[in-house]
């Protein structure tokens, strides 16, 4: 199946096999989905709900003093196929206000 320009595709809760995502809009809210043997041609990816909050958390934590190693580890794990819960804990701040 081909999803072309102007098509909005909700990823959560769906399985995609041998699909082409061609300039469509992919919406991801944080739920499980599966993509197998698919191709992508410049889709727009939109993070919403829990997925958007997770990105905001990682961005915020990545800006903390002393978090460079943790942030790089998160990025390295994203490049692998991580399992849920496999990302290391963020650094613990030494001073709390």
Structure tokens at 17: 């096999």
Tell me if 74 sits within 8 A of 55, measured CB to CB.
no
Q: What pLDDT is recorded for position 96? A: 47
Backbone angles phi, psi at 77, to 5 degrees: -65, -35
Structure tokens at 74: 């998160």
Tell me if 46 sits within 8 A of 27, measured CB to CB.
yes
What contacts 88, CB < 8 A, 6 or more positions away?
70, 73, 74, 77
Q: What is the pLDDT along the chain (97 residues), one digit of tens a residue?
A: 999 999 999 999 999 999 999 999 999 999 999 999 999 999 999 999 999 998 898 888 877 777 888 878 878 888 886 555 545 555 555 454 4
Q: What pLDDT is recorded for position 89? A: 54
Q: What pLDDT is recorded for position 83? A: 55
- Compute the radius of gyration of the chain from its Cα atoms: 16
Q: What pLDDT is recorded for position 97? A: 47
Q: What pLDDT is recorded for position 90? A: 52
């Amino acid at each position: 199946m081909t999803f072309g320009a102007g098509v909005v595709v909700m990823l959560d809760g769906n399985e995609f096999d041998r699909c082409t995502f061609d300039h469509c809009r992919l919406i991801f809210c944080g739920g499980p989905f599966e993509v197998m043997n698919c191709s992508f041609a410049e889709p727009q990816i939109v993070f919403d709900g829990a997925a958007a909050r997770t990105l905001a958390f990682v961005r915020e934590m990545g800006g903390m003093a002393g978090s460079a190693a943790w942030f790089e580890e998160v990025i390295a794990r994203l490049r692998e196929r991580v399992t849920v819960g496999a990302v290391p804990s963020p650094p613990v701040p030494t001073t709390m206000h």
